Structure 1
């Protein structure tokens, strides 16, 4: 996992909208938000689908629920159910699934913002809020993204797009895309996105996942699988990112 040795000690003026100043503000805002993050619990709801790349014959596969705890920087998944049937772990599920949305992704993105070249991609809006979109290209060597297929782990290169609020400097959405999957795996593209929302607990505000989507495309078979995730019921209680097939 990439690590950030220290926060960027630059704070942009409140009304600054320049790309560099907003990026510095985003780094500082999210460093402060997560400096004391130690322990949370929430409920995760996952609806899993599959269908053709052209959108035809799409159907829901199942529904998965789990209790997610984030303790001292590590995520744990318990109380896993598939269509209301108890499962021993997420790893026991067939098909595509992901781990790491709870806190790891934001921590890694913050580290990448401080260690990798960042490009201002565009200005726009997200759910009506003015936002700047930054892009980070991460090589396989520097990648904290781990893909596990049949028990074998692969580090994969990817592009991250980060939506940053122009009003608060907080990260609103993170989306990773990779087309650098090892040949012979049959996978042409992976896409993983998470939207974040402020959560007030015990008089303090934390920026935590609200929704997510994880998609796997199989170009040769002209099909895809995708998971739609939501997170709720946050409360205090006190990793790496792994994707499985």
Structure 2
């Protein structure tokens, strides 16, 4: 006796076309989410009920897209139809976005507790000392200018190196139960000429041919340069507010709170086939003598109501480490946190970087057990 097969229902989306390639149709929805749809030989394109070639559609065109899930849970575009925009239609779209955000803002959190957090300020030693210059304009703060110069020149001054990354992944679905281990990802990280790459990935010490971005579950990249550079880049227009003095890693530190608006953000968060670039806020610990960042915390804000996660946070700790004859500020620890919207289910990654050494083409890292 055979099994009855059923076809999954089609789903419809409308938004602005970002790109069409031989493999993908990339659509930006009105709430800021970016969807990557697979393109197949059966994907059809239309305008005014007439078929057209994909090349006739341009980035920025308004389109309606119908897609179906394939047997590997990828969304495959069935039809892509050009939508003629009018002033009335534009106003209707804008009103719908506002209503969705207002509904999300007014809703009570479903998660029955405050949820996990990565914030560390309460653990700083010694306690905070009031900052007499807290009211100073951040744009006039010389330490922010110094940190900006240090962050933007970081990649140019950084030598080529490699290290070991070990990422332990956990989950929890209740405030009454602790974090449950899922697996451990290990890899060699190569930083060469301003770019980071990964090789020799292992899952629970078993080699895999997958790339980092092909792993299931949650993962992250960019701890070595991208995160800091994005925060301090002028295009991000980050607003800094001096908060307090503190100490970290036995070094004096000045703590600043910051905020980056969504339209200036370069932080990408991806869940399955959809991606967003949210605004974010957080805190940064700066060592006054060098202007180097010792710790950075950031939390996504105003996540779209339809995005699968309603809490995303990340934190990175840096320390001065020897690479060859020089002491270089490098990430030593990072954590990422994400919680599914409206549930108690959260994922947490704990990442450690170690065994740094100068990189030459035949370098390898020995992984400690």
Please say whether Structure 1 and Structure 2 have the same fold, judged by a TM-score greater than 0.5: yes
2:180 aligned residue? 59
Residues 91 and 114 from structure 1, CA distance in 2 versus in 1: closer, same or farther, beyond 3 angstroms?
Answer: closer
1:41 aligned residue? 162
2:331 aligned residue? 209
2:345 aligned residue? 223
Once the two structures are overlaid, the 10-residue window that deviates more, 63-72 or 207-216, is 63-72
The count of aligned residue pairs is 222
Residues 92 and 28 from structure 1, CA distance in 2 versus in 1: closer, same or farther, beyond 3 angstroms?
Answer: closer
Contact 1:70–1:103 (CA<8 Å) still a contact in 2?
Answer: no
**Where does the alignment leave 5 or more consecutive residues of structure 1 unmatched?**
1-16, 239-245
Deviations 1:99-127 (A, max 9, x none): 11122222223325984322112323334
Asked if 1:234 is matched to 2:356, the reply is yes
Asked if 1:75 is matched to 2:196, the reply is yes
* Alpha-carbon distance in structure 2 between the residues aligned to 1:36 and 1:135: 26
2:281 aligned residue? 159
* Alpha-carbon distance in structure 2 between the residues aligned to 1:179 and 1:30: 23
* Alpha-carbon distance in structure 1 between the residues aligned to 2:279 and 2:224: 21
Question: After the TM superposition, which parts of structure 1 deviate over 6 Å for at least 4 consecutive aligned residues?
Answer: none
Matches within 5 A, 1:137-176: 137-176=259-298
1:119 aligned residue? 241
TM-fit CA distance, 1:222: 1.1
Contact 1:33–1:207 (CA<8 Å) still a contact in 2?
Answer: no
**RMSD value over aligned CA atoms?**
2.4
* Alpha-carbon distance in structure 1 between the residues aligned to 2:245 and 2:189: 34
Scaled by the length of structure 1, the TM-score of the pair is 0.80
Contact 1:189–1:216 (CA<8 Å) still a contact in 2?
Answer: yes
1:5 aligned residue? none
2:306 aligned residue? 184
**Match for 1:95 among 197, 203, 217?**
217
Asked if 1:194 is matched to 2:316, the reply is yes
TM-fit CA distance, 1:38: 5.2
Contact 1:45–1:66 (CA<8 Å) still a contact in 2?
Answer: yes
Residues 98 and 53 from structure 1, CA distance in 2 versus in 1: closer, same or farther, beyond 3 angstroms?
Answer: farther
Greater length-normalized contact order (CA 8 Å, ≥ 6 residues apart): 1
Once the two structures are overlaid, the 10-residue window that deviates more, 209-218 or 115-124, is 115-124
* Alpha-carbon distance in structure 1 between the residues aligned to 2:238 and 2:260: 7
* Alpha-carbon distance in structure 1 between the residues aligned to 2:243 and 2:142: 15
Q: Which has the larger radius of gyration?
A: 2
Deviations 1:215-245 (A, max 9, x none): 002251112110001001112237xxxxxxx
Contact 1:50–1:225 (CA<8 Å) still a contact in 2?
Answer: yes
Contact 1:53–1:217 (CA<8 Å) still a contact in 2?
Answer: no
Scaled by the length of structure 2, the TM-score of the pair is 0.55
Deviations 1:48-86 (A, max 9, x none): 111135252421111110111122222211111111122
